[in-house]
Structure 1
Amino acid sequence: MPAPRLSVVVTRRLPEVVETRMKELFDVTLRETDDKMTREELVAAMQRADVLVPTLTDHIDANMLAAAGNRLRLIANFGAGVDHIDVASARSRNVLVANTPGVVTEDTADMVMSLILAVTRRIPEGLAGMARGDWQGFAPMANLGGRIGGKRLGIIGMGRIGQAVARRAAAFGMEIHYHNRRQLRPETEAELKATFWDSLDQMVARMDVISVNCPHTPSTFHLLNARRLKLMKPSVVIVNTSRGEVIDENALVRALKAGEVAGAGLDVYEHGANINPALRELPHVVALPHMGSATREGRIEMGEKVILNIKTFADGHRPPDLVVPGML
């Protein structure tokens, strides 16, 4: 007699091909709308599921896990970041946590370069002027931006995405610099033509463009705070496609308004969708709605990784993308 299928609850809408495959493999409850679940809905979902498939909008803390009961055995996160999940509490309750690393690397790196170009070349301002009907023809001094070739790019966090950004930026003629918890291997540094800075303060003071590509952890919260923003050149452009909490958002707004930072390209925000209104209004800020990994191909690959993690677990093996507290 075949073993009963795992009960799986999915918290958000996923690509149709992913949902269809889940229905074939598991006893799955899909989300009919794309609204995020309330705290109460998440607890109820964990109480009735063997496996929960959340995403970064689902904040799962120790109290929620305690209220979930003993049925839940795996949290198969749809996404690479797991800072919205109390992984240590989950493991203490014998609940495994898995994620989907590596899938969004190329898509996010593409978005970094898009934001660098959008801010430095003032593309949104040009689009807005065209939409208003302001353009009257070519003028030598109109809409002047800056070149990125020859500029210094400082990458904060030189993991998969940081290295993918470095490769793209080098093709545009940028000088590659980076700050990371650990220095890369010499052969990787040589391939990327990247210069390591042990001191973040010294690096940010000398860069023309800064790209934030590190995860949000207790040690990276407000890594770019008011003090570090004041170390930067007034001509600096800051791009963040990682986690909003890495930058002190209010301090960034003050620096932008004071002319202490020339521009910013942002895809993530400190308080999620509750964005500082100034970031929507300042002309030298490009603010996107967390689109860094938003490609059809990427979302399907993420779903395939989630399915593989669940299927491997169902077969009695360790999920290939298991997250342990020591990794964080």
Structure 2
Amino acid sequence: MVKVLCVLYDDPVGGYPSLYARPDLPVLEAYPDGQRLPTPRAVDFTPGTLLGSVSGELGLRGFLESGGHSLVVTSDKDGAESVFDRELPDTDVVISQPFWPAYLTAERIAKAPKLKLAITAGIGSDHVDLDAAIAHGITVAEVTYCNSVSVAEHVVMMILSLVRNYLPSHQWVRSGGWNIADCVERSYDLEGMAVGTVAAGRIGLGVLRRLAPFGVKLHYTDRHRLPTDVERDLGLTFHPTTRDLVPVCDVVTINAPLHPETEGLFDDALIATMKRGAYLINTARAKICDRDAVVRALESGQLAGYAGDVWFPQPPAADHPWRTMPHHGMTPHISGSSLSAQARYAAGTREILECWLENRPIRDEYLIVQGGALAGVGAHSYTAGNATTGAPG
């Protein structure tokens, strides 16, 4: 029998919901590229309910306890006295979400001799020290594609919110005003602008597809160039590097994984090469951007706006400068945790657990590390010996 330690974010301030805005979810047949949706043997939850918070438990308790396994669920994840640290030494499986990451550093992994499986309920396993996982023979898996569309939709929302100056305009209404001039003095049409994505994987390509009907000029850079027919159909311009991409774009959206090659990429020097008054969107990982360089660029006007939902560490301190910098559209890390996405990543987490407990192969597209090496999608996204440290900041 195994012990599963699951780290989830806190319940709503008003308590776990008993009623939801919508009674159900649309039924999807497959992901846009044809990949199968999660296929567990069964689920013990109602799709469309709040599964990602502590009381939701990812719908796993009944399944695990019926098999004689134990499940510990907590939101207390930071510091040596946290529930996470106290429970970790005799844990076999850790489950965490990118939105409320339990940072599995090399130090924590060294204190968890029984740990054999680390699951990301979502996408992005940079909160795990992948090199340490490789060294200790720990399998790392995530629910690939489960919330890629969710994040792509969030990116489009943030682009429009910044360019059209939506958030300040909404605030005028809330405060009782009708200040049209104040609202429109920073409002522009997206049409005709050049929009570029740093990385064009599932999320980046999803953003490009959704923006194509807006009459924009689309650009991208990626380690792996897209097929010619995709470039032709979407009218894409490819750039070999980020440094080639950003000077020509009015809007840049970051959709790359965090690793040493991307950490700190958007610093003062790179931002200085962007068009003055460009917009920067980051729903990937906060450490891809230099925190203070972003603040300086907004204050100087080099950037007209910055939006994202990724911070470091997560959650950020109350005095984090991104909370109060000008012309921002920041949210908590929610882009991939819609109720729709939660149903998929909860089901995918159970599928991974079923496979691991029954000694069946975990889908290749879910694997990041296995058998002491990068595997599956992890081998595509990371470089062994230069992966991630799992550190919060």
Fold agreement, TM-score > 0.5: yes
Q: Which of 3, 8, 11 is residue 7 of structure 1 equivalent to?
A: 3
Q: Deviations over 1:61-82 (max 9, x none)?
A: 122111112x222112222111
Distance across 1 between alignment mates of 2:354 and 2:104 = 23
2:364 is the counterpart of 1:323: no
Q: Which of 197, 211, 220 is residue 178 of structure 1 equivalent to?
A: 220
2:118 is the counterpart of 1:68: no
Distance across 1 between alignment mates of 2:290 and 2:214 = 29
Distance across 1 between alignment mates of 2:116 and 2:335 = 30
Distance across 2 between alignment mates of 1:190 and 1:215 = 26
**Which has the larger displacement, 296-305 or 141-150?**
141-150
**Which has the larger displacement, 274-283 or 170-179?**
274-283
Matched residue type, 1:193: G
Identity level (%): 25
Matched residue type, 2:340: E
2:325 is the counterpart of 1:292: no
Q: 1:62 to 1:135 in 2, by over 3 A?
A: same
Matched residue type, 1:74: L
Partner of 2:93 in structure 1?
51
Partner of 2:32 in structure 1?
none
* Native 8 Å contact 1:179 1:200 kept in 2: yes
**Which has the larger displacement, 52-61 or 216-225?**
52-61
* Native 8 Å contact 1:73 1:94 kept in 2: yes
**Which has the larger displacement, 20-29 or 159-168?**
20-29
Matched residue type, 2:202: R
Cα shift at 1:194: 1.3
Q: Which of 34, 40, 44 is residue 75 of structure 2 equivalent to?
A: 34
Q: 1:159 to 1:142 in 2, by over 3 A?
A: closer
Q: 1:318 to 1:43 in 2, by over 3 A?
A: farther
Cα shift at 1:254: 0.4
More helix by share: 1
Partner of 2:268 in structure 1?
226
2:288 is the counterpart of 1:258: no
| RCO comparison, higher one (Cα < 8 Å, 6+) | 2
2:188 is the counterpart of 1:192: no
Superposed, which structure 2 residues align to 1:1-328 within 5 Å?
A: 5-12=1-8, 13=54, 15=56, 18-19=59-60, 20-25=62-67, 27-31=69-73, 34-36=75-77, 38-40=79-81, 41-56=83-98, 57-69=101-113, 71-135=114-178, 142-274=184-316, 277-320=320-363, 321-324=366-369, 325=374, 326-327=379-380, 328=382
Structure 2: unaligned runs, 5 residues or longer: 9-53, 383-393
Distance across 1 between alignment mates of 2:301 and 2:288 = 21
Question: What is the TM-score with the length of structure 1 in the denominator?
Answer: 0.90
Cα shift at 1:142: 4.3
* Native 8 Å contact 1:245 1:271 kept in 2: no
Distance across 1 between alignment mates of 2:321 and 2:112 = 40
Q: 1:108 to 1:14 in 2, by over 3 A?
A: farther
Distance across 2 between alignment mates of 1:142 and 1:237 = 17
Q: 1:14 to 1:298 in 2, by over 3 A?
A: farther
* Native 8 Å contact 2:122 2:336 kept in 1: no
How many residues are matched? 321
**Which has the larger displacement, 88-97 or 16-25?**
16-25
* Native 8 Å contact 1:248 1:270 kept in 2: no
Cα shift at 1:304: 1.1
Instruction: Tell me the secondary structure at the aligned position of residue 97 of structure 1.
Output: strand
Q: 1:260 to 1:140 in 2, by over 3 A?
A: closer
Question: What is the TM-score with the length of structure 2 in the denominator?
Answer: 0.76
Q: 1:196 to 1:24 in 2, by over 3 A?
A: farther
* Native 8 Å contact 2:212 2:218 kept in 1: yes
Cα shift at 1:318: 2.8
Structure 1: unaligned runs, 5 residues or longer: none
* Native 8 Å contact 2:278 2:303 kept in 1: yes
Q: 1:14 to 1:175 in 2, by over 3 A?
A: farther
Distance across 2 between alignment mates of 1:78 and 1:49 = 17
Distance across 2 between alignment mates of 1:90 and 1:259 = 43
Cα shift at 1:195: 1.1
Q: 1:27 to 1:218 in 2, by over 3 A?
A: same
Instruction: Tell me the secondary structure at the aligned position of residue 211 of structure 2.
Output: helix
Instruction: Tell me the secondary structure at the aligned position of residue 9 of structure 1.
Output: strand
* Native 8 Å contact 2:295 2:325 kept in 1: no
Q: 1:259 to 1:49 in 2, by over 3 A?
A: same
Matched residue type, 1:163: L
Cα shift at 1:196: 0.6
Distance across 2 between alignment mates of 1:253 and 1:118 = 19
Alignment RMSD, CA only? Answer: 2.2
Instruction: Tell me the secondary structure at the aligned position of residue 315 of structure 2.
Output: coil
